[in-house]
DNA sequence: ATAATATTCAAATGATTATTTGACTGTTTG
DNA sequence: CAAACAGTCAAATAATCATTTGAATATTAT
């Protein structure tokens, strides 16, 4: 909660409530770093794929049409953001969407936006 | 729809359906550029603010604690992505969330993530 | 018209990030 | 143990992006 802030102009009678309910800057940074994972086309493609299948790196790379090194790199980023998890099975490492509330929200957001972008 | 693709390994019986329903790369780029707008902490803060109030640049700058030039710059980016609109009123320019399906989806996503990040 | 206010623009800088390449680690199979 | 396969890592390059600053534009008030 913030203390009373004074804005240069007075347009919105309810502005003080908005200012009071504004999260701290740190929260915005945290949330932004989550959304940032969706802000790259190749990573979004990988993430979309993992929303619909659990697969090894080679298969993901083949499915999205990118090199294994690039896919591996982006998978690390997604893993650091806790959006995906990995499990070694023999010589392969299988990746899947993480079972967290954040990952589920992202999953929903991706589904929603592709309903928009790709109307059937 | 894609034609038959062969993956190096065979893990998922349903994989062909997933591959067939995968959007084109262009769609991923478009969607990513939308999500990218949420990937910066300062821009997310501005966008959050505009989800809750319609205000002029000076007030937005004061509310989020940033310079007018920075806020103006980010507002241009948000406007180019069709997430916000602007209207001149006297010497001020008032910005608000755009009335589109994309903007509404983003609005929902922001609300959802802050329910997560900022549990009450 | 002049001054004051609100906003935008453009150039410069610094920071972050994606991609490529090849070498490296770990695992299974013969 | 050696060969083959799956994945990761690190260095280098290229590209993108945020921030700052001050000048420029547009509107209103005196």
Name the pLDDT band for A45 (thresholds 50, 70, 90).
very high
B119, pLDDT greater than 70: no
Q: Which nucleotide is nearest to A66 (CA to C1')?
A: C19
Protein fold of B15-113: Arc Repressor Mutant, subunit A (1.10.10)
Minimal CA separation from A112 to chain B, in Å = 7
Cβ pair B41:A29 closer than 8 A: yes
The secondary structure of residue A21, as a DSSP letter, is T
Residue with tokens 């803060």: B45
What digits encode the pLDDT tens for the residues B96-117?
Answer: 999 999 999 999 999 999 887 6
> Which long-range contacts link B60-65 to residues 24+ away (Cβ below 8 Å)?
B60/B95, B62/A5, B62/A6, B62/A7, B62/A8, B63/A5, B63/A7, B63/A15, B63/A18, B63/A19, B63/A22, B65/A25
What digits encode the pLDDT tens for the residues B27-47?
Answer: 999 999 999 999 999 999 999
Count, residues in chain B: 120
What digits encode the pLDDT tens for the residues B66-100?
Answer: 999 999 999 999 999 999 999 999 999 999 999 99
């Amino acid at each position: 909660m913030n203390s009373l802030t004074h804005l240069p102009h007075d347009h919105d009678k309810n502005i003080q409530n908005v200012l009071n309910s504004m999260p701290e800057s740190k929260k915005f940074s945290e949330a932004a770093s989550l959304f940032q994972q969706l802000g790259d086309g190749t990573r979004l493609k990988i993430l979309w794929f993992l929303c619909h299948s659990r697969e090894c790196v080679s298969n993901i790379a083949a499915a999205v049409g990118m090199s294994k090194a690039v896919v591996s790199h982006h998978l690390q980023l997604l893993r650091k953001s806790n959006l995906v998890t990995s499990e070694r099975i023999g010589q392969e490492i299988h990746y899947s969407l993480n079972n967290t509330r954040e990952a589920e929200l992202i999953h929903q957001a991706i589904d929603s936006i592709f309903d928009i972008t790709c109307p059937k």
